Structure 1
Amino acid sequence: MSQPARKFDAAFAQAFETLLRWRRDVRHFAPQAVAEQDMADLLALAALAPSVGNAQPWRFVRVRTPALREALAAHVDDQNALAARGYADQARHDAYRALKLHGLREAPEILAVFCDEQARAGHRLGIATMPEMLRYSCVAAIQTLWLAARIRGIGLGWVSILDPQVVTAMLDVPPRWSLIALLCIGYPDQPSETPELEQRGWQSREPLADRLFER
């Protein structure tokens, strides 16, 4: 039996826009722990994300071991130093070095998200010509988790300055899993509607018109 379509009123639409504007990539975290029930709720909501063929290829790994957390942080610090060398312009180099690019030591929760490239669910539907759709599905789950976290006042930081193969080896996961994201999760120390990179003059949001085309 079909169900009537759910309708969302103008107040909900406005609240949703506000949520999108306040979803920030967080790098500065307060010491407050994230309740275990909140983590369980966030992961359950992330699993409601759409996925190609309903394959649900996301695999979540919570990093609970202090030594492993420190190893990840040290690896990202090393990769950060290497990335800084790529900026020949001294002003841009200095600006880069001044950025705080991860909270792996401060965030109360560290979550790695992997894609099972051979997920049995979905029966390979929709990926014959675009196998990368499995990874895109995992990104959709991350965005869903991100918004669900922000509703609860919890922040998320996506760490991308890393070597995926090194991190995958550290976390000792099956070889068919590919790393999609290393996430820091916790309460923001400095909540703001304005992205930190924009606050620090690194890059502001550019007009949508420059990125919209018609054919």
Structure 2
Amino acid sequence: MSEDFSQQDIAVIYRLIQSRRDIRHFSDSPIPKDVLQRILEAAHYAPSVGFMQPWNFILITENEIKQKVKLSFEETNQDQLDKLSQDERKELYRMLKLEGIMEAPLNLAVTCDRNRDAPFVLGRSPMPETDLYSTCLAIQNMWLAARAEGIGIGWVSLMNQKEVEQILGLPAHVQLVAYLCMGYPLEFPEKPMLEKLGWKSRLSLQTLVYENQWGKEYPLN
């Protein structure tokens, strides 16, 4: 029997999606264990190819490990900055706070076990990357659940992936998908940081929706 959702329930879902933010500034208040468990359970309820459930979650609380990851970020961030040729764009880049590794009370690495249920995973063979996509769905579930709990999450993508995998002691068949900073935010900004600071504006949905074939416009209105 299907469950009906009230208009209030529906409105909350859309409000959560629209108010989710990539957070970089955190308070030092710890995340209660019961709240963290609910957030992780939300992630674990994500859909996955062949019900593979390829994810694992590594909770990082030791400052020594955080420092090593922070160093990887700093080196990668400088490398990206060096590649920018426009002075104005470089100055804007320098203004961006792109991680909260040491500030966040909890860092969390989300991994994908690419050998789970091997050698046969129903539906995966034609598109082997669907295990990675499934892991991303778990991350999105986690992010929305965290927002509902008043917890902020920031995804740190500027790092040497292989180096961080080694820091975390990952087996060869396990891939790092996301390195997240988690904690109570100083604020949930009204707009995404990159939009607020003028790095990029949100694209018009109308320009992204096609009908039947690539480039054939589908009128939404």
Place the TM-score, normalised by the shorter chain, in its bin: over 0.9
Counterpart in the other structure of 1:137: 134
Q: Return the match for 1:10 from 7, 12, 21.
A: 7
User: Is contact 2:61-2:105 (8 Å) kept?
Assistant: no
User: Is contact 1:23-1:146 (8 Å) kept?
Assistant: yes
Counterpart in the other structure of 1:105: 102
Counterpart in the other structure of 2:49: 52
2:143 aligned with 1:127: no
User: Is contact 2:30-2:105 (8 Å) kept?
Assistant: yes
TM-score, normalised by the number of residues in structure 2? 0.93
User: Is contact 1:84-1:96 (8 Å) kept?
Assistant: yes
AA matched with 1:115: C
Instruction: Quote how far apart the aligned CAs of 1:122 are.
Output: 9.5
AA matched with 1:203: K
| Deviates further, 32-41 or 165-174 | 32-41
Map 1:13-24 → 2, pairs under 5 A: 13-24=10-21
User: Is contact 2:63-2:102 (8 Å) kept?
Assistant: no
Counterpart in the other structure of 2:80: 83
2:155 aligned with 1:158: yes
Q: Return the match for 2:187 from 183, 187, 190.
A: 190
Q: Distance in 2 between matches of 1:108 and 1:32?
A: 7
Counterpart in the other structure of 2:40: 43
Q: Distance in 1 between matches of 2:11 and 2:163?
A: 42
User: Is contact 1:52-1:122 (8 Å) kept?
Assistant: no
AA matched with 1:130: M
Tell me how large the CA RMSD over aligned residues is: 1.2
AA matched with 1:65: E
TM-score, normalised by the number of residues in structure 1? 0.95
SS in 1 for 2:155: strand
Runs of 5+ unmatched residues, structure 1: none
Q: Return the match for 1:181 from 178, 183, 186.
A: 178
Q: Distance in 2 between matches of 1:174 and 1:40?
A: 25
Runs of 5+ unmatched residues, structure 2: 213-221
User: Is contact 2:155-2:178 (8 Å) kept?
Assistant: yes
User: Is contact 1:104-1:110 (8 Å) kept?
Assistant: yes
Q: Distance in 2 between matches of 1:41 and 1:175?
A: 30
Instruction: Quote how far apart the aligned CAs of 1:121 are.
Output: 7.4
AA matched with 1:109: L
SS in 2 for 1:85: helix
Q: Distance in 1 between matches of 2:189 and 2:94?
A: 22
| Deviates further, 37-46 or 160-169 | 37-46
Counterpart in the other structure of 1:118: 115
Q: Distance in 2 between matches of 1:150 and 1:177?
A: 28
Q: Distance in 2 between matches of 1:144 and 1:136?
A: 13
Counterpart in the other structure of 2:201: 204
Could you list the per-position Cα deviations for residues 95-115 of structure 1 after superposition, in whole angstroms to 9, with x for gaps in the alignment? 011100000010111000110
User: Is contact 1:110-1:185 (8 Å) kept?
Assistant: yes
